[in-house]
Structure 1
């Protein structure tokens, strides 16, 4: 029996309207036997679920720095500036690795890159238990873990969304981004409890185990492209069933493609505005609150476990806020969303110095909830703008934008530790970051509107 183009279209039209899973012939020759009926749940959702777990596993070690600053200072006598420098290296490498990791995923596949990255994170965290000098902290905590987590940065999110989803992109971006950020913060109470109940070495080894536990799941379930398992992107119509779909770019190395995408994007005003706003985003989240909130609260007499618990609450509300941001991104102007997010974040940071105290009180809880809703809500609209303005290179360009995010985070992580050593207070850092967020809000509004003509299925 022949299965020509009309037969294929009929089979797609008869697909389950909820799962969007068409019953297609095997891709390639249109006159082969039809594929077996697809699963009830589209394979894209399984890929997204595995990506979510991998991102949470990678976030485990990134939760450690803020609760280990004081234990490392107490045991080795290292200054907060030195420890913050290791965190800074971690954050910067996390960002610089992202665009090359996105290109490596295009060339070698997500599964290989993500599994290798998890092993690198586990190695870096495990080796810290043997360190006895500051440079070893920078090597393990900064370089190895920075490279590993950078290979599973938010550019991994953009790659999964671009390859596997045509519909619900904003929502999926929000969920995966929230998993990464919330996973980082939700691990904090456990890491803090282990460090206080036992020691910091036990805490870091627990993170090593968490990263290793995710590797088999990635190798088992993560797949690179829909055509690898005989399906199409979630939400795609009959026209994509008749096409080969987005394919891996031919020729050239991963580094060459990453640099080429940067050269092309750097000629546009949009890229620099996105990079600038995201640098401020990193400065006001990972670099400031993520690294220094716990020691700052401890300076005011709050127990480390209580401060870590507040960061975990930020992670919970971040999950809500970022998923909601993804939903909004599917429906509203991404530029205006960014402006609102940055403005609200800046206002909240200006009030933080007035709220820090030796115990948890209602105004502080209000700040935690408010700030948590905004923690990485900026990611879905930023990913959407990269995809809309840079098309097929959107994930790699977002990797470079993420690099600026981490550079901002790294610089502020170091400078804030230095400010604390010199002035004995974190207040200057809070006020400066609040003002920078106001600048980011204005920059977001300057970004030109999305292109009116958008090729179906681009990105």
Structure 2
């Protein structure tokens, strides 16, 4: 629960950005690409810093990263209420937010689960990463209510300090992981000063991971699907308004999609514990492509629009769960933090490119149709890459060598 709520807070600003685009653009005269750039600035810093912060996880564990990061993130979100219209101030605030995000991104929460669970790892990841679906469900209608009731400035304060405080308190009380278990065992054995890594278990080295073709497939697939889906998440409110849905109803649809996303993560987690992730992941991501087809339907009926949001919420929300599970399955836990830190860089690159690309497309053509067509093609490619993965290695030998499953 602590990790799920902590991860939900890291997804709040992404889920809320679409609702802040219009009031901020109207007040300061900014383009949609500029207002969307905050998420992209965060993504750039995450792309650059994730490998380094991944090594910190291997060295210190997740608790010592997550709690300070959540505190800084809460303060920065609240500080967005002080915007004056200066683009330099906008860039500076988001730069600090990006530093906080490095300590609270998916690498931290997936490492907490993967270091603790084995047989139930898929469902464990599903439960924790449902936090992002929770944020997607609650944030749009909540942010819409706060903006209408208190203005966009106070809405940032409520989202930052309110949600952030809950996440911090839960993590202080309950966030523990496999790194903590190993650390306490060493201290009890009088090996507090041991130079051995915390996760001294079988798995690939960083050099071996760089040469693994399956990891390259996972990495490329992840970058592609993040570019497509985060563009839709950030711009979903304007996209729905463009196809004829009023703003309040659009926020309700986005929230409903988030609730369906929770179901998707739990079902996918249970399937990952029973069936090959290449089939579970490939089919799940393939289903996401129908979202864009339905949104491109001229004069689409309400049922089609609702179906599009439900499918996207169910399938698209599992992408972090899939990459976390697949990375641990194909690399082992020996250097998981460092290796998944590199994966997180690609997640950040796609997350940063998607929103700005979506804003630029709308500014350039005055419509989101080119974005939806491009996202449809990218989703198909992403699913095909996962279908081509080989069988899992077996991480049972003490030397960390892998045998074919």
The runs of 5 or more residues in structure 2 that have no matched partner are 198-203
Query: 1:61·1:121 contact (CA, 8 Å) conserved in 2?
Result: no
Report the Cα offset of residue 229 of structure 1: 6.2
Query: 2:78·2:160 contact (CA, 8 Å) conserved in 1?
Result: yes
Does the alignment pair 1:125 with 2:77? yes
Paired residue for 2:224, among 276, 280, 284?
A: 280
Report the Cα offset of residue 139 of structure 1: 2.3
Aligned to 2:171: 218
Paired residue for 2:146, among 170, 185, 194?
A: 194
SS of match in other structure, 2:176: coil
Q: In terms of Rg, which structure is larger?
A: 1
C-alpha distance in 1 between matches for 2:242 and 2:234 = 14
Does the alignment pair 1:303 with 2:246? yes
1:50-129 paired onto structure 2 within 5 Å: 50-129=2-81
Paired residue for 1:265, among 209, 213, 233?
A: 209
TM-score (norm 1): 0.77
SS of match in other structure, 1:302: coil
Report the Cα offset of residue 116 of structure 1: 0.8
Aligned to 1:344: 287
C-alpha distance in 1 between matches for 2:153 and 2:241 = 21
Paired residue for 1:404, among 346, 349, 367?
A: 346
Does the alignment pair 1:437 with 2:379? yes
Distance 1:118 1:422, change over 3 A: same
Aligned to 1:250: 195
Report the Cα offset of residue 264 of structure 1: 4.1
SS of match in other structure, 2:3: helix
C-alpha distance in 2 between matches for 1:414 and 1:341 = 26
SS of match in other structure, 1:285: helix
C-alpha distance in 2 between matches for 1:323 and 1:456 = 32
1:165-244 paired onto structure 2 within 5 Å: 165-209=117-161, 210-224=163-177, 225-227=180-182
Does the alignment pair 1:373 with 2:343? no
TM-score (norm 2): 0.87
C-alpha distance in 2 between matches for 1:52 and 1:147 = 21
Query: 1:59·1:149 contact (CA, 8 Å) conserved in 2?
Result: no
Distance 1:394 1:249, change over 3 A: farther
Aligned to 1:137: 90
C-alpha distance in 2 between matches for 1:390 and 1:337 = 19
C-alpha distance in 2 between matches for 1:178 and 1:372 = 11
Query: 2:141·2:252 contact (CA, 8 Å) conserved in 1?
Result: yes
CA deviations over 1:313-344 (Å, ceiling 9, x no partner): 11100000011111111111111122212221
Report the Cα offset of residue 269 of structure 1: 1.5
Does the alignment pair 1:423 with 2:365? yes
C-alpha distance in 1 between matches for 2:88 and 2:209 = 36
Aligned to 2:200: none
C-alpha distance in 2 between matches for 1:117 and 1:302 = 37
CA deviations over 1:255-286 (Å, ceiling 9, x no partner): xxxxx965542222222211110012211222
Distance 1:261 1:152, change over 3 A: farther
C-alpha distance in 1 between matches for 2:293 and 2:39 = 24
Report the Cα offset of residue 251 of structure 1: 6.8
Query: 1:183·1:315 contact (CA, 8 Å) conserved in 2?
Result: yes
CA deviations over 1:43-84 (Å, ceiling 9, x no partner): xxxxxx211121123322332211101111000001112112
Distance 1:294 1:100, change over 3 A: same
C-alpha distance in 1 between matches for 2:143 and 2:64 = 28
Does the alignment pair 1:449 with 2:404? no
Query: 1:261·1:396 contact (CA, 8 Å) conserved in 2?
Result: no
C-alpha distance in 1 between matches for 2:60 and 2:299 = 48
Distance 1:355 1:174, change over 3 A: farther
C-alpha distance in 2 between matches for 1:124 and 1:79 = 22
Structure with greater helix percent = 2
Does the alignment pair 1:386 with 2:331? no
Distance 1:395 1:329, change over 3 A: farther
Query: 2:78·2:156 contact (CA, 8 Å) conserved in 1?
Result: yes
Does the alignment pair 1:153 with 2:119? no
Query: 1:50·1:221 contact (CA, 8 Å) conserved in 2?
Result: yes
C-alpha distance in 1 between matches for 2:269 and 2:151 = 39
Higher relative contact order (CA 8 A, sep 6+): 2
